[in-house]
Amino acid sequence: MARSQRRVGLVLARASRVLGEEPYYHEFLEGLERVLTPAGVSVLVKVVTDRDAESETYERWAAQGRVDGVVLVDLWPGDDRVALVHRLKLPAVVLGAPSTASGLPTVWTDDAGFAREAIRLLADRGHRVIGHISGPMAFAHTQLRREGTEAEAGARGLRLLHAEGDYSYESGRTAMAELIGGAPTAVVCDNDLMALAVLAELADRGVAVPRDISVVAWDDSALCQLAVPPLSAMSHDVGRIGELAARAVLDTLDGAEPAVYQAPAAQFVARDSTR
């Protein structure tokens, strides 16, 4: 059956439980559709369990002509999905660092730079032992954030503690339980949901925020403002990032040369979770 309009696909290889809780992709999709829908382009979203299923989806979509292009997210260094969309001749936009994209257009957030900024701001507030709860280390953007935190901590002579989560609430609690023995006075979390979990874990342990430990989230969704105490955050305009991805999609579908679309700079928003 012929399609009446163009369509772009987005495959998310995450547990549906995590996606249902995490606000990032809800805000990203809102921004994406805000630009694509008036341009006559619909968005097809599919949630799968792993990367093999994601690659199979691209192959099936390309064979069936289901989509005119795709947006790739959560790339690994040397990610084979980039080679796959090239082989399938499937127009694609990468949400991530240009170094992962092998000539594809990218919407780039300076993860390393903003991670350095978070550590710098905490160091300026007197913190000398800082925890970092990251997302999955397989992701290129997680590795960049880790590099940024380590670089700034090294430059300032700080002690940096690491724990890895998967963006879920449960993983945030587990990671905070791992870090507490290192006696951090501040913790930076790679998403808002894990930061909420950190608040809960600390409350259960009788640790006061921010008197004993300061907590910083990453995206600054509405969850940060509703938290008790309200969460300080490295605030990203996720809706605007979605709009930039949509513009990159439209340019790509129209045959434009690959370009780098720079996301707006993150801004530190101080609330009651930091001292």
- Residue 53 token pair: 């299923």
CA atoms of 135 and 116, how far apart (whole Å): 16
CA atoms of 146 and 116, how far apart (whole Å): 9
CA atoms of 13 and 267, how far apart (whole Å): 28
pTM for this model (two decimals):
0.93
CA atoms of 2 and 6, how far apart (whole Å): 11
Q: Do domains 6-109+237-264 and 111-235 have the same CATH topology?
A: yes
Q: What percent of the chain shows pLDDT beyond 90? A: 93
Mean pLDDT of 147-163: 98
Positive or negative, the CA dihedral 123, 128, 134, 139 is positive
Which of 11-15, 147-151, 172-176 is least confident? Answer: 11-15
At the top level of CATH, the class of 6-109+237-264 is: alpha beta
Cβ pair 42, 35 in contact under 8 A: no
Encode pLDDT of 221-243 as tens digits: 999 999 999 999 999 999 999 99
pLDDT, residue 14, reads 76
Q: Is the pLDDT of residue 210 over 90?
A: yes
User: What's the full length of the chain, in residues?
Assistant: 275
pLDDT band at 1; cut points 50, 70, 90: very low
Question: Got the DSSP string for 86-142?
Answer: HHHT--EEEES-GGGTTTS-EEE--HHHHHHHHHHHHHHTT--EEEEEES-TTSHHH
Q: What are the residue boundaries of the structural domains of the chain, listed by start?
A: 6-109+237-264, 111-235
Encode pLDDT of 24-82 as tens digits: 999 999 999 999 999 999 999 999 989 999 999 999 999 999 999 999 999 999 999 99
Report the topology of domain 111-235.
Rossmann fold (3.40.50)
